[in-house]
Homo-oligomer: A and B are copies of this chain.
Amino acid sequence: MSGFSFTLNATDGRARSGVIDTPRGQIRTPAFMPVGTAATVKAMLPESVAATGADILLGNTYHLMLRPGAERIAKLGGLHKFMNWDKPILTDSGGFQVMSLAELRKLTEDGVTFSSHVDGSRHFLSPETSMEIQRLLGSDIVMAFDECPALPATEERQAEAMRLSMRWAQRSRDAFGDRPGHALFGIMQGGVLRHLREESADALRGIGFDGYAIGGLAVGEGQEAMFGVLDYAPDLLPADRPRYLMGVGKPDDIVGAVQRGVDMMDCVLPSRSGRTGQAWTRRGQVNIKNARHADDPRPLDENCTCPACRGYSRAYLHHVFRAGEMISGMLLTWHNLHYYQELMAGLRGAIAGGQLDEFVADFHAERAKGDIPTR
């Protein structure tokens, strides 16, 4: 793990704050990773993503292998150079997305054969090919190839999928080999069933990874069930390695996950919301499409320092959304990513200062007020 390390600096209850060091820079944890699916965080320039405070972003192996192709990106100097982002990148393994997006899937012990949703071409993903693709992309944090079964699923089906994922985790570890400065994370599965989670954690610890993800959550089980798993799952993983909760989430999901010992998260929500006229603020969600904003000279959040809040009224944001202008998605995405990163900075500071309970109480109190009333 030369060149890649995790330092825990503070804890507050089960919550942790620290730093992941990589050759491409530090990742302050708890960290939120914006999603740059197809080699772009949608509606953002990479320097703007960095300006929001993001230390790392996530790329999607499934999308990139299909278009423009991993070999092509490798020939062009790797994903960082391709997309003009020199900080760390985590890539998922393609396992989740091939099961949710690809067509004509055929799953065997060996891997998954599928048709591209882009052009129908046939492809094969396995632990070995996923490791190779993520190597070609130049990913800093590589995810083991796993299977995440669609819900609802029987306990038997969930156990099967988890055990297959654990065999694939071993194959991922073997195929990844030793790559100084690059990390491989294993992914715990098992749905909301504690004994499966325990079995999965045991298997992963036996193999040994640079970090550990909690997969198979945020797939429709609801916040209560998710927090139920997070009440015990992070503690099943080694305390000296980063713990990454995949695909989470809304701001209150993030706060609850951090309280339960999660160090890293990713989600398309802030960027996707930004393109559909939804803003996230300290006082909850704002639907900028709503006619009540049409004459409002106030910013989304008077205390926010993002470009959307410093430069524009709600009336303007309402207008450009209604007019279908690209600046709508550009500004709201920037605001949302800024808000998310500010939340993470607040959480890190609160953990470092031993004041997480107060921070979380304030967070919920502000949200409970709801959006500012129309003036």
Give 9 A-B contacts (CB < 8 Å), ordered by A residue: A38-B320, A38-B325, A39-B316, A42-B325, A43-B330, A45-B330, A68-B315, A77-B297, A82-B315
Interface with B: A97-105, A250-258, A306-314, which one?
A306-314
Closest Cβ of chain B: how far from A308's Cβ, in Å? Answer: 10
- B327 near A40 with CB under 8 A, answer yes
Q: Which residues of B contact A24 (CB under 8 A)?
A: none
* Chain B positions within 8 Å of A312 at CB level: 84
A292 within 8 A of B: no
- Residues from chain B with Cβ under 8 Å of A323 in the complex: 38, 67
Distance between Cα atoms of A77 and B38 in the complex (Å): 40
Which residues of B are found within 8 Å of A68, using beta-carbon distances? 294, 315, 318-319, 322
Q: How far is the CA of A163 from the CA of B38 in the complex (A)?
A: 56
Residues on B with C-beta less than 8 A from A307 are: 45
Copies in the complex: 2
A55 to B39 alpha-carbon distance, docked (Å): 33
B39 adjacent to A319 (CB under 8 Å)? yes
Give complex CA distance A76, B295 in Å: 7
B320 touches A39 (CB 8 A): yes
Q: Is the CB of B325 within 8 A of A40?
A: yes
Asked whether any CB of chain B lies closer than 8 Å to the CB of A326, the reply is yes
State the Cβ distance, A1 to closest chain B Cβ, in Å: 31
Interchain CA distance A186-B142 in the complex, whole Å: 64
User: In the bound complex, do residue B45 and residue A313 qualify as a contact, i.e. CB atoms below 8 Å apart?
Assistant: no
A326 is contacted by which of B72, B297, B329 (Cβ under 8 Å)?
Answer: B329
Is there an interface contact between B84 and A322, defined as CB atoms closer than 8 Å? no
CA distance A76 to B298 in the complex (A): 10
CB-defined contacts of A319 to chain B, threshold 8 Å? 38-39, 67-68, 82
Q: What's the Cα separation between A323 and B60 when bound, in Å? A: 14
Answer whether residue A50 sits at the interface, using C-beta atoms and an 8 A cutoff. Answer: no
Neighbouring B residues of A42 by C-beta, 8 Å: 325-327
- Is residue A83 contacting chain B, with contact meaning CB distance below 8 A? yes
Interface size class of A (residues with CB under 8 A): 35 or more
The residues of B that contact A72 with a CB separation of less than 8 Å are: 294-295, 315
Give which listed residue, B44, B320, B322, B331, contacts A327 with CB less than 8 A: B44
Contacting pair B316 A82 (CB below 8 A) = yes
Q: Given contact pairs A82-B316, A84-B316, enumerate 13 new A-B contacts (beta carbons under 8 Å).
A: A38-B323, A39-B320, A40-B326, A42-B326, A45-B307, A68-B319, A72-B295, A75-B295, A76-B315, A76-B316, A82-B319, A83-B316, A84-B312
Q: Which residue of B lies closest to A328 (CB)?
A: B40
Query: In the complex, A329 Cα to B68 Cα: how many Å?
Result: 18
Chain A 24-80 residues near chain B, CB threshold 8 A: 38-40, 42-46, 67-68, 72, 75-77
Roughly how many angstroms separate A140 CA and B329 CA in the complex, as a whole number?
A: 29
Q: Which residues of B contact A82 (CB under 8 A)?
A: 313, 315-316, 319
Report if A45-B329 is in contact (Cβ < 8 Å); known contacts: A315-B72, A320-B39: no
CB neighbours (8 Å) of A84 from chain B are: 311-312, 316
Map CB proximity to B onto A252-279 as digits: 1 under 8 Å, 0 otherwise.
0000000000000000000000000000
Q: Which residue of B lies closest to A310 (CB)?
A: B84
Shortest CB distance A259–B (Å): 35
Taken together as a complex, chains A and B put the C-alpha atoms of A42 and B327 apart, in Å, by: 7
* Contact A322-B39, Cβ < 8 Å, known A76-B297, A82-B316: no
Chain B residues lying within 8 Å of A39, measured Cβ to Cβ, are 316, 319-320
